[in-house]
Structure 1
Amino acid sequence: MTTASPDLAADSREALDAEIAALRRGATLWTRLSLEQRATLLERIHASTAAVMDEWADAAATSKGLGPDHPLRGEEWFTGPYMTLVSTEWLARTVRTLADGGNPLDGVPLDQTPSGRLRARVFPGDLSDRIIVSGFTGEVWFDGDVTPARARAAAGLGQRTPGVSGGVGLVLGAGNVTSIPVADVLYELFAFNRVCLLKVNPTQDALVPVFEQALAPLIELGLLRIVRGGGEIGAYLTRHESVDHVHITGSVDTFDAIVWGVGDDAAARRADGNPLLQTPITAELGGVSPIIVVPGEWSEADLAYQAEHVATMRLQNAGHNCVAAQVLVLSEDWPQREAFLDHVRRAMAGTPSRKVWYPRSEERLATLRDSRPDATWSDGGRRGVVEFACGADDAMEIQEQFAPVLGVTALPGVGQVFLDAAIAYANERLTGTLGANILIDPVEQTRLGDDFERALERLHYGTIAVNTWTAVGFLTPALPWGAYPGGTLEHAPSGLGVVHNAFLLARIDRAVVRGPFRPFPRSLSALRPRSRGAFSLLPKPPWFVTARTGATVSAGLTRFRAGGGILRLIPTMLNAFRA
């Protein structure tokens, strides 16, 4: 039976019950739609998203305090309508392939890692990908015993059995990135055949009218309902007898409160192994993500560019990201360590000023400022660089700060010795398993050879980024996004399960994304015979917080994804060269 919340009025409970009852009827309709009809539905969502993309980006930027001329408004184009448009494109392609009797892995190169693990090279997918994110690639690594035949046999997930209903799913939406609630709804619907009740985080209430228009094709068919409200609404819904599954993007504290309750009762339940929540749950819960810098011989331009890269990993969305990198891991024995740190401090201080907007982040910042007076603070104390001793159980190691503060620590060694030590440190000392970043110059990576690839396999994170940021994996719907496998209800610091995963693949171990170490024009050296590294057309990726044309380029790329045609890319890419 549903447990009535004492804080929830009877009319509110009745309204929520009615929404769930409507979804129960919608679940039956969903099982009757053919794969062709489902692909068409995704194309309709693509069109309705394109129709509101300007409103979406403006509402998201305004809600975060980014005025009409703020240089960082491009973030809200990329992480809102752009990602939604690309997600519907990829999913529609998968569903149409299945409808035509094909397999989602048709045409996808499959090979093995040096350790013999199967991987699918799913990105880039077409010419536009190769232009927009030139030099970037993405791979899905499978569980150790998955063969090509097994991977193909399972590809498609719920769309292999479209007539089997997954019931009603509750999605507790994220409060920081506006595309996340939409992506989570689409994954519930297409991976598991679950119609959805989306409970929007209060920080995104202003986006509800946009969501309702973008997702109108789902709402009209009774496949989606959207509700607002605080914790009391969420508490009622998670324990509702007609909800078959819960998915949350949020904090581990919220997850634990849902699963175990709070206070002494929660402790007793944990001790007895008797969770309060009896409904199955998946979650994406963030964590403390590292940036491991493998020492090498870097030019001054390399030092400056990668410092801006590090600042972007920490400061995008004011640091209010589960994908944000929190701990920079350097080598004590790298002769360029101090020079690089100087560049990092300048990049952190020199990015455009912005508001720390997420609830309670100001309080976390104040605590850090009070406890770390020796840190390097900038932007009126709204961002900082904090150095700490490695493995000291520092707050930067054990608690996701969700604020624009970068931790810096160091380990001894160079080459493989350093890399192995940094991987062990990240696995054993940092909270969570969501994403890890590695920066390594092409000469050093070539010298390490297959040992570098084997080291990646020992790095237990759901997404690993080599010479790029894990956000590229997050924004690539072809790739899965979620914690490294192995989390439990008792211990799930970064969550359970994955989302995105537009190929609808099963038994995933992780995603690996790779990018160019050097931007254009210095990446031209990669075109020479026997050269090392990856070529890129991008002089500076538009998601860098230091990209001067980031807002214009991000909007232009979104309009292209809305259906502008390949020629419409030309002025946008020319703007990218002015970044």
Structure 2
Amino acid sequence: MAGSAPAEAETTGDAPGATPAALPAAERAALDEAIARLEDGSRVWAALTLDQRARLLGRVRDAVGAAAEDWADIATTSKGLEPGHPLSAEEWLGGPYAIISLLDALRETLQTLSKGGNPLDGVRLDTAPGGRLRAHTFPLNGTERLLLSGFTGEVWFQPGVTAADARREAGLAQLTPTEPAGVGLVLGAGNVASIPAADVLYELVAANRVALLKLNPTQDTLLPVFEQALAPLIEPGFLRIVRGGAATGAYLTSHPGIAHVHITGSAGTFDAIVWGDPARPASDSDAGAGTTAAAQKGEPSLTVPITAELGGVSPIIVVPGRWSAADLRYQAQHVATMRLVNAGHNCIAGQVVILSADWPQREAFLRELHAAYTAAPVRPVWYPRSDERLAAAASDYPDAVWSADGTRALVEVGPHADATAIETVEYFAPVLGVVEVRGTGQEFLDAAVAHANEKLTGTLGANVLIDPATEEALGDGFERAIADLRYGDIAINTWTAFNFLTARLTWGGFPGATLADVSSGIGIVHNALLLDRVERSIGRGPFRPFPRSMGDTLRRVRLARRTVLPTPPWFVSSRTGAEVSAGLTRYLIDGRVPGLVRTLAKAMRA
């Protein structure tokens, strides 16, 4: 039956049906002791000045730098690849690079607050569509301008938030640093190595909450790395890291010493934690599926607040224009990257391409997409139960085109075919769908936005590809359409992974989710400027890489983005992605210009 495939997103190993009593007494005692030590650490944290906290994050940065190589290598091998494999770029960028960037940005925010400043000092504020306040939070320094030339990022506040409101509220719990918030439980993601550490840092800085981190079993091999990298937080009692499965998670979520829960995972696991439905099977965990039977039972079983990042089905809206052969090829590789990074095991992955049925270049683009999708490096599909999800896709779409030894599906859904499964089930595996709507120009864009909002499960991330000339022709209509997209993160001519990796942007579902209808989650993370009442973050990148990007400038296309960057290192088609990503991370660690020069030279050969 269409839509019946399991879609577990990033599970936490806390399967429905587990009970605290299933945990041996010795393990319960060890967890009790860890929580008791964290309660002591919470009082120590509350006694630190903002400057002391900033200096502590500097020590964490040093420790992450020392562990970076092991971090990337172990994460790479845990996914069935050899260290140094071209696709290990993902582990450098999605591991130590992301955490060092976040630490630097959080530390700057703490330093600013400690001196009586405001996190929004030096940040340009203006108005976005609908009268919303917008903060231009990337780039804010020379390093960001150099390493990601042509990329920009914005944070949009919720309607009604004024500039005075935003400045007054910026800082979150660091505005009242002596008020501890107890011990938070972080149920870590199992797919991307930076997520557990980033979530711990956000708990500590945004909420004044020390953390007990329970690793997903898929990341158990990284425990020694996390213990080394986060040692400056572990030593004073601000963090404890534990391993375990469903019984451990069940014990911790019901522990009286836990004041808050944060989960990165699936809506099914979220519902099991919140509503305590032991009858809901672990396989029935469709991310963003809405109100469940458990949620209809009345009062939640979880008695403390919870925040969550839960994924969904992300659209890739391809706005028709006049594209060159090189544009078609490059953007097809871009789309393939959005689906195939980390073998598709990403809440961040694009899953449904929305094309115009009336685009004259539709067939040419699809030919390039099939070629790029097939040609991308073959890799293990490693996440637990991915074989079941691929089998479900094969059942739902018997006409799908398979490649990579039968581990990769591309589904073109015809105008009269059933798109329910591809649009509502987060496969969390290499399954990419293509659907069509009518129209060109503004008519298409409005229809595509409505389709994404109304047909696709979840509200986490949306991607839009549009050439500068078409964007310029649409004018204000383009920005209005972007405002109409109900997603917490939007990427224009880049992938929402840019938003995820950019510390001063926010990451999370569109506001409005509830315990009973959690969609893509509740709350945000990253958010290094500690901004409140955020609606979404928007990343923008160059439509064409260097040197082709210079052509738009010469043609005086107003919205062209000047960039000196070639193919980004995160593209699955990048020949030097691993070397470039490792080099960029090392530059963040040591700031050595000769190494950066060598890295940029390698980037030009991508």
Indicate the TM-score class for this superposition, using the shorter chain for normalisation. over 0.9
Question: What corresponds to 1:57 in structure 2?
Answer: 72
**1:292 maps to 2:317:** yes
Q: Counterpart amino acid of 2:602?
A: N
| SS at 2:20 equivalent | coil
Question: What corresponds to 1:559 in structure 2?
Answer: 586
1:6 Cα shift?
Answer: 2.2
Find 1:203's aligned residue among 218, 232, 236.
218
Greater relative CO (CA pairs within 8 A, separation 6+): 2
Measured in 2, the distance between the counterparts of 1:33 and 1:4 equals 38
Question: What corresponds to 1:342 in structure 2?
Answer: 367
Q: Counterpart amino acid of 1:323?
A: I
Find 1:465's aligned residue among 479, 486, 491.
491
1:366 Cα shift?
Answer: 2.0
**Aligned residue runs from structure 1 range 311-460, under 5 A:** 311-389=336-414, 392=418, 394-460=420-486
- Tell me how large the CA RMSD over aligned residues is: 1.5
Amino-acid identity (%): 59
**Aligned residue runs from structure 1 range 110-149, under 5 A:** 110-149=125-164
**Aligned residue runs from structure 1 range 102-117, under 5 A:** 102-117=117-132
Question: What corresponds to 1:494 in structure 2?
Answer: 520
**Aligned residue runs from structure 1 range 521-532, under 5 A:** 521-528=547-554, 530-532=556-558
Which shifted more, 120-129 or 172-181?
A: 120-129
| SS at 1:72 equivalent | helix
Measured in 1, the distance between the counterparts of 2:111 and 2:121 equals 12
Could you tell me whether the CA contact under 8 Å between 1:295 and 1:440 is conserved in 2?
yes
- Could you say if the C-alpha distance between residues 111 and 274 of structure 1 is closer, same or farther in structure 2, counting changes exceeding 3 Å? same
Could you tell me whether the CA contact under 8 Å between 2:271 and 2:292 is conserved in 1?
no
Measured in 1, the distance between the counterparts of 2:63 and 2:536 equals 32
Q: Counterpart amino acid of 1:469?
A: W
**1:548 maps to 2:575:** yes
Measured in 1, the distance between the counterparts of 2:410 and 2:576 equals 26
Q: Counterpart amino acid of 2:515?
A: L
Question: What corresponds to 2:331 in structure 1?
Answer: 306
Q: Counterpart amino acid of 2:604?
A: F
Q: Deviations over 1:221-270 (max 9, x none)?
A: 10000000001100110111110000000111111111112255997753
**1:537 maps to 2:564:** yes
| SS at 2:21 equivalent | coil
Could you tell me whether the CA contact under 8 Å between 1:520 and 1:538 is conserved in 2?
yes
Measured in 1, the distance between the counterparts of 2:497 and 2:149 equals 16
Q: Counterpart amino acid of 1:121?
A: H
**Aligned residue runs from structure 1 range 182-221, under 5 A:** 182-221=197-236
**Aligned residue runs from structure 1 range 20-39, under 5 A:** 20-39=35-54
TM-score, normalised on structure 1? 0.98
Find 1:482's aligned residue among 496, 505, 508.
508
Could you tell me whether the CA contact under 8 Å between 2:73 and 2:84 is conserved in 1?
no
Measured in 2, the distance between the counterparts of 1:126 and 1:424 equals 37
1:104 Cα shift?
Answer: 0.4
Q: Deviations over 1:133-175 (max 9, x none)?
A: 1110000000111111110000010111110011100000000
1:436 Cα shift?
Answer: 0.2
Could you tell me whether the CA contact under 8 Å between 1:481 and 1:501 is conserved in 2?
yes
Measured in 1, the distance between the counterparts of 2:30 and 2:57 equals 28
Question: What corresponds to 2:191 in structure 1?
Answer: 176
Measured in 2, the distance between the counterparts of 1:476 and 1:105 equals 16
Question: What corresponds to 2:285 in structure 1?
Answer: none
Measured in 1, the distance between the counterparts of 2:495 and 2:84 equals 26
Could you tell me whether the CA contact under 8 Å between 2:213 and 2:242 is conserved in 1?
yes
Find 1:279's aligned residue among 304, 309, 317.
304
1:116 Cα shift?
Answer: 1.9
Could you tell me whether the CA contact under 8 Å between 1:23 and 1:225 is conserved in 2?
yes
TM-score, normalised on structure 2? 0.93
Unaligned runs of 5+ in 2: 1-17, 281-290
1:388 Cα shift?
Answer: 1.6
Question: What corresponds to 2:5 in structure 1?
Answer: none
Measured in 2, the distance between the counterparts of 1:476 and 1:511 equals 10
**1:576 maps to 2:603:** yes
Measured in 2, the distance between the counterparts of 1:74 and 1:306 equals 20
| SS at 2:91 equivalent | helix
Between Structure 1 and Structure 2, how many residues are aligned? 577
Could you tell me whether the CA contact under 8 Å between 2:19 and 2:247 is conserved in 1?
no
| SS at 1:348 equivalent | helix
**1:16 maps to 2:31:** yes
Q: Counterpart amino acid of 1:558?
A: T
Question: What corresponds to 1:67 in structure 2?
Answer: 82
Measured in 2, the distance between the counterparts of 1:469 and 1:546 equals 15
- Could you say if the C-alpha distance between residues 449 and 30 of structure 1 is closer, same or farther in structure 2, counting changes exceeding 3 Å? same
| SS at 2:241 equivalent | strand
1:531 Cα shift?
Answer: 2.4
